[in-house]
Amino acid sequence: MSGQQAAAHVPVMCARIVELLSPPLQAPGSVYVDCTLGLGGHAEAMLTACPEATLIGIDRDQHALALAGERLAPFGDRVQLFQARYDELPDVLAQAGRPLVQAILADLGLSSMQIDRRDRGFAYSVDAPLDMRMDDTQPLTAADLVNTASTGELTQMLRRFGEERFADRIARRIVAERASEPFDTSARLVRVIESAIPAAARAAGGHPAKRTFQALRIAVNDELVALTGLLPAAMDALAPGGRLAVLAYHSGEDRLVKNALREAATDRAPRGLPAVPPELRARLVLLTRGAERPGADEVQINPRAASARLRAGERMIEVAA
């Protein structure tokens, strides 16, 4: 993918995210953090809408950072980019000298570049090496998992990360097939998955390998562990009045986001206290009512947006007792 192709990419729910995150970014010196920079689409829109703001862009994928850097070059020294996993946010902010910031976005899941690059092995629709690493310098690949995990481990992985109801059948078939020859490409794995799923189920509910590939990707990249670390770190990094927005694409991610934001938006004092001590007051006020979804027009233009769920909150301004 070229820099021009990256610039043509339309980010998910971009107008709504700009609307949610722009208010605290109007003051000189304000900082916007994009924890999943990808191809830089959200970042470009935010920097354009908020000319006083600077960007701290984070991505674990060095190839995405290079393309985003090309796209964001016109913004000059308003942009700082870091290769890191998003739960390393405190270290990045310390390195940037900005422990508190005004707005943070995390657009979870895969970037379009990762899906479209066939050699990365994320797509079940093309034959490619079983890789699936967002950071291709890390050692563990999807092939490693498929070829070494036990039947029980694979079953648990497919159930937890893919919500695959035929997890046990698929896991047993994978283990049986790899005994004769290890898996190294996606096409053979897809065939094995299809053969493990009953014909009636294969005919409904989308591609039969979708949930297995999702589960492998999440496991290879330790995505839910990273998200669990990111959410409290992001809330700690918000200045008073700062805002956090998160785009999730499957129920496991969204459940973690929903629970973390709801907990932060709830007083922690025992019932019956005449007043809530400052240290037990809610830290956030929710900006979205439930999860917001993209409109039909956006989904028609960008089908990959169909599963997106957007939640956001604002760090409360502490009031003196």
**CA–CA dist 196, 209 (Å, integer):** 10
The architecture that CATH gives domain 3-107+223-315 is 3-Layer(aba) Sandwich (3.40)
What is the pTM assigned to this prediction? Answer: 0.89
The architecture that CATH gives domain 120-221 is Orthogonal Bundle (1.10)
86 labelled as ligand-binding? yes
Domain with CATH 3.40.50.150 in the chain: 3-107+223-315
Q: Which stretches of the chain score pLDDT less than 70?
A: 1-9, 111-121, 272, 318-321
41 labelled as ligand-binding? yes
Return all residues near 31 (Cβ < 8 A) that are at least 6 apart.
Answer: 53, 54, 55, 56, 98, 101, 102, 103
40 labelled as ligand-binding? yes
Cα–Cα distances (Å) from 152 to 170, 173, 184, in that order, read 11, 12, 21
Distance, CA of 58 to chain centre: 12
Residue with tokens 């290079």: 66
> pLDDT of 185-219, one tens digit each?
999 999 999 999 998 888 777 789 999 999 999 99
Q: Give the SS3 label for residue 244.
A: strand
pLDDT of 235:
97
3-state DSSP helix/strand/coil percent for the chain, to nearest 5?
Answer: 50, 15, 35
pLDDT of 156:
97
> pLDDT of 114-147, one tens digit each?
555 666 667 787 888 999 998 888 899 999 999 9
Domain with CATH 1.10.150.170 in the chain: 120-221
207 labelled as ligand-binding? no
pLDDT of 112:
59
pLDDT of 20:
98
124 labelled as ligand-binding? no
CA Rg, the chain, in Å?
21
pLDDT of 254:
96
